[in-house]
């Protein structure tokens, strides 16, 4: 009798553990949207690098209207699927003073955050970070590569 009870307990425990592993912080519709939008699962969360869609001009933090509409569309889609907690990270190239670049990268992240806020995101659910020239995606050895490093990434957090 005791042995049977232990077996049933063990089976129940295994089933509960497997169910917990399957149910992550995002449901399948949310994951499908994230993949469709180009997000990639990383250790930090679902990350979307915007270099091909959102590059900043040298020493600038403003977003042109075409890019703003794309960011607005993304924000609305994320809201629609209740993906409303984000980390927005800005970057620069390596030209200039590191302290200035840190502030500029934060301004870039804030520019994207403002578009998100204007399209339904609560500012309290956004973490805005500037990383300056840290973590370049390309070597800063040409103007073309430096342009790709002037970017913002959006990370969806649970």
pLDDT at 41 over 70: yes
Q: What percent of the chain has pLDDT over 90?
A: 63
- What distance in Å separates the CA atoms of residue 41 and residue 45, rounded to the nearest whole number? 6
Which pLDDT score is estimated for 5? Answer: 44
Per-residue pLDDT of 88-118, as tens digits, reads 999 999 999 999 999 999 999 999 999 999 9
Nearest alpha carbon to residue 73 among 54, 60, 92, 47: 54
H and E: helices and strands count for the chain: 5, 5
Mean pLDDT of 25-46: 90
pLDDT of residue 156 exceeding 70: yes
Helix (H, G, I), strand (E, B) or coil at 9: helix
Where exactly are the structural domains of the chain? 26-156
| Minimum mean pLDDT range among 46-55, 59-68, 79-88 | 46-55
Computed over every residue of the chain, the mean pLDDT equals 85
Give the model's confidence band at 158: pLDDT under 50 very low, under 70 low, under 90 confident, else very high: confident
Given a contact cutoff of 8 angstroms between Cβ atoms, the answer to whether 86 and 154 are in contact is yes
Domain at 26-156, CATH class: alpha beta
């Amino acid at each position: 009798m005791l042995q049977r009870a232990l077996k049933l307990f063990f089976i129940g425990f295994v089933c509960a553990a497997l169910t917990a592993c399957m149910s992550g912080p995002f449901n399948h519709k949310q994951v499908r949207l994230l993949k469709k939008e180009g997000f990639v699962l990383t250790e930090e969360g679902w990350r979307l690098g915007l270099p091909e869609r959102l590059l900043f001009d040298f020493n600038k933090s403003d977003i042109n209207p075409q890019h703003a509409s794309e960011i607005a569309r993304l924000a609305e889609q994320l809201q629609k699927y209740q993906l409303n907690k984000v980390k927005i990270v800005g970057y620069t190239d390596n030209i200039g003073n590191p302290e200035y670049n840190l502030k500029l990268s934060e301004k870039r992240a804030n520019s994207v955050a403002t578009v998100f806020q204007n399209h339904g995101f609560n500012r309290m659910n956004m973490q805005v970070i500037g990383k300056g020239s840290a973590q370049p995606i390309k070597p800063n050895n040409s103007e073309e590569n430096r342009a790709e490093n002037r970017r913002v990434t959006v990370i969806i957090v649970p």
